[in-house]
Amino acid sequence: MSRKLLLANDHIPGIQSYEVYRSNGGYRSVEKALKTMSPDDVVEEVKKSGLRGRGGAGFPTGMKWSFLAKPEGVPRYLVCNADESEPGTFKDRYLMEHIPHILVEGMITSSFALGANTSYIYIRGEYFYVARIVEKAIAEAYANGWLGKNILGTGFNHDMYVQVGGGAYICGEETALLESLEGKRGNPRIKPPFPAIAGLYGCPTVVNNVETIAAVVPIVNDGGDEYAKIGIGRSTGTKLISASGNINKPGVYEIELGVPVEEFIFSDQYCGGIANGKRLKACVPGGSSVPILPDYLVCKTATGEDRLMTYESLSDGGFATGSMLGSGGFIVYDENQCIVRNTWNFSRFYHHESCGQCSPCREGTGWMERVLHRLEKGMGNMSDIDLLVEVAKKIEGNTICPLGDAAAWPVAAAVRHFRHEFEHHVLHPDKVKDPKHGHREPIMPVKPQPVTA
């Protein structure tokens, strides 16, 4: 059985409430940090743990914290990114819904480390009921002396607020989130300056994902070294994976980083194999923004090694034959799924969610969506396929924020690995006119040939 750190007490009835959470060892990290450690000690433990940001980019958290500017007389802020809107990702919701206190606890401990007297949890607008749960947890923490003035008599003051999001995926991008939190239109800022220097209200700010902040709790409780023992190489600790798609047991799993992908998909401990006895066709391992992998690259890398659930192994082979761990939105496709349709669906999302500030993303996302729609409906041409690749290339890397990349990568990867399926849509418009094409029989009965990297 794999070790669990965040969801260890998930099975305990009533763990949502303060009493049960506390009686199961909750808020120990706050006691330990505030009473026995200096803020820098906490940062040091997080550095030692090797924890990397769980929001998608995987940036080392300890390093991010140590970049925080500390000018005299200027407040610092910790902001929790709970805007979780990436298609395929639902782990933060699960955590906040089931164990809200671990987030509140992590927020207090992290704020102490950063010297922040105010923190905000920015929760996705559609998660309004989750916001109520977290607000209740915060109220309980206040009532029990974990928040407010002079916490545990240590002189540390801290106030925590929940902000319900603006209802846009782009508000999850950290600088757009800060704009939105300030009450403005959620447009990403042009960087530099980075939030660590000038973030919320122009003050030094750390933005971290829900899961990142929750992971600080076991790190402080057990020590960074202990945390770093789990995992492989630079992928330390545990990770929440939102598993969805054509699997027997969709849901949120806490895994030790390093579990083989094959085991994750097929073992009964996790996804339990492909549903309805079908075959695996493809997998998007890290949320809609990361490249899709065809069956033969899911469980093995291009060099024939076992693919593992780590930052490094999932990106092995670069974009030619690899993907990314991203936010851990693990989507599995069986042989009946249409990749063109799926790609169109993703591109529809990015088209809808582009903030529209910069021209490549504003115009390019809509263009790709229209071309993909045409292909999916059997009305496209062969030249559309290359057009897609070219448009994706013109967006990628040329935008203000990574949403442009996130829109371009899945399209480029789908064409890279499933070009035959796009061609099939052009050559057999009669077969794909039916919106349920693929459901009765696989779109492409022939197994695709591996591309060489």
Partner 1 sequence: MSLLKVTIDNKTIEVEPGTTILQAARMIGPDVAPPAMCYYTKLKTSGGYCRTCLVKVSKGSEKDPRPMPKLVASCRTTVMDGMEVENFTSPEVVDARNGVVEFLLLNHPLDCPICDQAGECHLQDLSYENGKSKTRNEFERRTFEKIDIGDKIQLHMTRCILCYRCVKVADQFTPERVHGVINRGEVSEISTYIQHAVDNDFSGNMIDVCPVGALTDKTFRFKSRVWFLKPVDAHRNCDKCSGKTVLWKYGQEIYRITGRKDQWGEVEEFICNTCRFDKKAPSDWTEEGPRKLSRHSVISQGHYGTKTKFVASPVTLPNKQLS
Ligand X SMILES: Cc1cc2nc3c(=O)[nH]c(=O)nc-3n(C[C@H](O)[C@H](O)[C@H](O)COP(=O)(O)O)c2cc1C
Return residues touching ligand SF4 (CB under 6 A).
170, 188, 354-358, 361-362, 399-401, 403-404
Candidates 7, 214, 309, 355; binder of partner 1 (CB under 8 A) is 355
Size of the site for ligand X (CB under 6 A): 24
Would you count residue 353 as binding partner 1 (CB under 8 A)? yes
Handedness of CA 81, 87, 89, 93 (dihedral sign): positive
Binding of residue 345 to partner 1 (CB under 8 A):
no
Partner touching 428 among partner 1, ligand X, ligand SF4, none, CB below 5 to 8 Å by kind: none
Indicate whether 234 belongs to the interface with partner 1 (CB under 8 A): no
Q: Does 398 bind partner 1 (CB under 8 A)?
A: yes
What residue is closest to ligand SF4 based on CB? 361
- CB nearer to ligand SF4: pick between 149 and 184: 184
If one asks whether residue 212 binds ligand X (CB under 6 A), the answer comes out as yes
Binding of ligand X at residue 328 (CB under 6 A)? no
Binds 363: which of ligand X, ligand SF4, partner 1, none (CB < 5-8 Å by kind): partner 1
Judged by CB under 6 A, does residue 236 bind ligand X? Answer: no
Strand arrangement, sheet containing 329-334: 251-256, 238-245, 329-334, 280-284, 293-294
* Interface size with partner 1, residues (CB under 8 A): 29
Between 170 and 324, CB nearer to ligand X: 170
Tell me if 209 contacts ligand X by CB under 6 A: yes
Q: Please list, residue by residue across 8-29, b when 16 or more beta carbons sit within 10 angstroms of its beta carbon and e when fewer do.
A: bbeeeeebbebeebbeeebbbb
Return the residue of 52, 351, 425, 437 that touches partner 1, per CB under 8 A. Answer: 351
Pick from 8, 20, 57, 232 the residue near ligand X by CB under 6 A.
Answer: 57
Q: Distance between CA 411 and CA 406 in Å, rounded?
A: 9
59 scored as a contact of ligand X (CB under 6 A): yes
- Distance in Å, CB of 92 to ligand SF4, minimum: 21
Longest CA span, the chain: 74
The nearest distance, CB 403 to ligand X, in angstroms, is 4
Tell me the closest approach of the beta carbon of residue 354 to ligand SF4, in angstroms.
4
Question: Hey, which residues between 70 and 89 contact ligand X (CB under 6 A)?
Answer: 81, 83-86
Q: Which stretch binds ligand X (CB under 6 A): 5-13, 53-61, 255-263, 331-339?
A: 53-61
Q: Which of 53, 62, 199, 294 binds ligand X (CB under 6 A)?
A: 53
Binding residue for partner 1 (CB under 8 A) from 175, 208, 342, 365?
Answer: 365
Give the number of residues written for the chain: 453
- Contact of residue 366 among partner 1, ligand X, ligand SF4, none (CB under 5-8 Å per partner type): partner 1
Ramachandran area for residue 76 (φ above 0: left; ψ -120 to 50: alpha; else beta): beta
Does position 234 interact with ligand X (CB under 6 A)? The reply is no
363 binds partner 1 (CB under 8 A): yes
- Regarding 394 and contact with partner 1 (CB under 8 A), the answer is yes
Give the residue, chosen from 15, 309, 403, 411, that forms a contact with ligand X under the rule CB under 6 A.
403
Asked whether position 178 contacts ligand X by CB under 6 A, the answer is no
Binder of ligand X out of 402, 429, 442, 450 (CB under 6 A): 402
The residue type of 226 is E
Q: Which residues bind ligand X (CB under 6 A)?
A: 53-57, 59, 81, 83-86, 169-170, 172-174, 207-209, 212, 401-403, 406
Q: Which residues bind partner 1 (CB under 8 A)?
A: 168, 170, 185, 190, 351-367, 370, 387, 393-394, 397-400
